Structure 1
């Protein structure tokens, strides 16, 4: 008599449910059912899901049906055709509604949003990236992991499908993230974009998606707070003396960053090797980590002045973020401005998922982060250096993105035109 048992092979969350078919000594076949479950929801004793909610009950029923189908198929199939391919065919037939064959081989993925997000995460290493190579970045994978966590919380006991993502779904999901979870608008819109990417990927794999998917509202929000250091503030920082070596070093990195306009991931990696001479012109040449593009920045007199005593010493991005706040505090960059901060409560620890920024009036030094280098460079040089040249250095692909980044609008254009006209007269 044939025995059919279900079990979990791995401890990762979620993990696939496996089935083992055994008949006498001749047949002992194990295959994945392509059904996902959290290990904490599985009973090893009963070899079935704990019936804690409707989804788990449905999974238990589905596995029972699969067991019957395997048994029936075995009785109806010639003994010479009983092998691993036969069992895989029975499983595929059972899962034929709303499933597709992934690029991992025999694995099938159904139409649930959760499973399709997980599939994208699982195949991240072989996906093309913006640099033209394979492998999504760690930050990109983490972004999908956060989406997975959010969707699981949002759906609760329901089982949301990729075809459910239409305009109405987008509005409700966005409203839930903004009003219930208190996520920042930019973060919530980014999660909508990530979800649309997951759905488009599912569509490529043959799953049904809503015809309204392209119209679901995502995108970037307009920068609410444009934070940068003015030339006067940079001068105050430059003239402030520091006794502590680590603050003096951070000050040097900050000033250098504000004058060459690079992301902190590229700025803090600069060494003497990045300083080269091309056709008699001294430049800083580096390959930007995020875009993979080559940036060539001319070494201007102020840059030479900052590094006259040599480059600042190596520092982590975490310490850079922490120390430049202290640098700006010592330099009395302390006027109150509009911004948002995560409030610190004494004696209370919060996870990253619980942290929320609170808008209000804060001393400017408290709002300083490493991102201020690139934005300071872009803002202070807008209208001084031609915009296409600025964009080459800051690595913005469109002028619209660049202007949104520094918070410029049509009135700024009009004001610039008026000023140029006055200068010409």
Structure 2
């Protein structure tokens, strides 16, 4: 006959509580930690339960007795379920009782739910309907798991604890303690919601408020791009070194074809192909896995009239492009954020973005290429064509990316009617010339 007993195996003020299962003479005795601890002076070796001296001890004793009953009932079902009683079986029943996992052996802990997405990244359905999420998305989930682990400390939060208040407190932690930008912090909240919804599909209970959690990305207020006039200044600037001239060529090319820094700096001769007599640049974006085809216009040919720039790292580009823009006198004072690096000890560096008003050249990096392309052509080139090159999924995403607001649309409407009025005036001023005999 199987017997269960709780016991301690150390004399410390934080001694782990074990559950011992004796299942007949022919079977080995099994010991497993239950995940709770107690000061050994509060423990009764005689009863195998906490001493009834404090309210907390009485509460803990009640929980242990309920666990004993739960495991005993599961032992009665072993033959019916054709299960093998061993250490793994006992650990599973303990975790099931404390709702650390579900019947389908899925953990209810947030960190485990995140890890499940990471482990199954290759077979997860992506936004395009195919299988496999991008490396950048996997890295995002790895970052989220690290942040959640730091946030919870010794407490292990479950998926069903993620409600409106949890999200608000976590957001405050991200902004006030971790000093993250609001946009990055809200992205973490959005990713956390995705994790919870994914866990729900796997049979893990979620909080009824999950859908009410606000993870809306804030409007991008500091849109940093290079205007056509500024790009002309950069093109005509005197640069002292070949390295800076090379970075300038990458910058001008990037603003001309509208790609992210990582995709831009990987372009080589193989990306240039001829399709039906039209020379184009074909590439697959690293972040989205989208295939993009960009026509090689005259402006692109002029930039590349002496050949492609030589390959450099994104770090070198971001470092030298600021010098290029400084020498081109891109000095307008604007709002933005710069990365400040501080030493954390043992060679580790701590990076944080500091917001303020800075000369524009200090805020320039690889991000400016795609945004400059979209901003300079918005309202000139049809929006769907811009989206085809930038690979934005919706017009709303594009508008938020370049910061188009109601005033911009009002100006476009006014320009349209002004143009129409000019056309009508021109037509009414035309005189009919009599046909000569």
The answer on 1:357 being equivalent to 2:359 is no
TM-score by length of structure 2 reads 0.75
Write out per-residue CA displacement over residues 161-202 of structure 1, whole angstroms, 9 at most, x where no aligned residue. 211111222222212322333221011101111111111122
Q: Work out whether residues 325 and 366 of structure 1, in 8 Å CA contact, stay in contact via their aligned partners in 2.
A: yes
Aligned to 2:96: 96
- In structure 1, how many angstroms separate the alpha carbons of the residues matched to 2:356 and 2:319? 21
The answer on 1:146 being equivalent to 2:147 is no
Deviation of residue 280 (structure 1)? 2.1
Aligned to 2:365: 369
Distance 1:202 1:76, change over 3 A: closer
Q: Which of 327, 331, 337 lines up with 2:328 in the alignment?
A: 331
Aligned to 2:250: 253
Aligned to 1:54: none
Write out per-residue CA displacement over residues 291-330 of structure 1, whole angstroms, 9 at most, x where no aligned residue. 2222111111110000111111111112111121121122
- In structure 2, how many angstroms separate the alpha carbons of the residues matched to 1:183 and 1:166? 21
What number of residue pairs does the alignment pair up?
A: 383
Aligned to 2:277: 280
Question: How is 1:290-305 mapped onto 2 (pairs within 5 angstroms)?
Answer: 290-305=287-302
Deviation of residue 86 (structure 1)? 5.5
Write out per-residue CA displacement over residues 20-66 of structure 1, whole angstroms, 9 at most, x where no aligned residue. 9999998789999998xxxxxxxxxxxxxxxxxxxxxx9xxx99999
Aligned to 2:261: 264
The answer on 1:389 being equivalent to 2:391 is no
- In structure 2, how many angstroms separate the alpha carbons of the residues matched to 1:367 and 1:202? 40
- In structure 1, how many angstroms separate the alpha carbons of the residues matched to 2:368 and 2:34? 47
Q: Work out whether residues 66 and 91 of structure 1, in 8 Å CA contact, stay in contact via their aligned partners in 2.
A: no
Question: How is 1:52-71 mapped onto 2 (pairs within 5 angstroms)?
Answer: none
- In structure 1, how many angstroms separate the alpha carbons of the residues matched to 2:196 and 2:126? 18
What is the SS of the residue equivalent to 2:385?
Answer: helix
- In structure 1, how many angstroms separate the alpha carbons of the residues matched to 2:209 and 2:304? 54
TM-score by length of structure 1 reads 0.77
Deviation of residue 226 (structure 1)? 0.3
- In structure 1, how many angstroms separate the alpha carbons of the residues matched to 2:415 and 2:76? 88
Q: Work out whether residues 341 and 351 of structure 2, in 8 Å CA contact, stay in contact via their aligned partners in 1.
A: no
Aligned to 2:107: 109
Structure 1 residues not aligned, in runs of 5+: 5-18, 36-57
- In structure 1, how many angstroms separate the alpha carbons of the residues matched to 2:258 and 2:309? 16
> Max radius of gyration: which structure?
2
Q: How big is the alpha-carbon RMSD for the aligned residues of Structure 1 and Structure 2? A: 4.0
Distance 1:240 1:160, change over 3 A: same
Write out per-residue CA displacement over residues 57-116 of structure 1, whole angstroms, 9 at most, x where no aligned residue. x9xxx99999999999999989xx9985655444433332332366xxxx6413x22332
What is the SS of the residue equivalent to 1:314?
Answer: coil
Write out per-residue CA displacement over residues 123-168 of structure 1, whole angstroms, 9 at most, x where no aligned residue. 3344333455544333322322222232233223433221111122
Q: Work out whether residues 259 and 303 of structure 1, in 8 Å CA contact, stay in contact via their aligned partners in 2.
A: yes
- In structure 1, how many angstroms separate the alpha carbons of the residues matched to 2:74 and 2:176? 52
Q: Work out whether residues 281 and 296 of structure 2, in 8 Å CA contact, stay in contact via their aligned partners in 1.
A: yes
Distance 1:33 1:221, change over 3 A: farther
- In structure 2, how many angstroms separate the alpha carbons of the residues matched to 1:276 and 1:377? 22
| Large movers: runs of 4+ above 6 Å | 19-35, 62-78, 346-350
- In structure 2, how many angstroms separate the alpha carbons of the residues matched to 1:289 and 1:220? 22
Aligned to 2:10: none
Structure 2 residues not aligned, in runs of 5+: 5-18, 36-58, 423-437
Write out per-residue CA displacement over residues 312-367 of structure 1, whole angstroms, 9 at most, x where no aligned residue. 11111121111211211221212221111123569989856x43222111111111
- In structure 2, how many angstroms separate the alpha carbons of the residues matched to 1:32 and 1:221? 48
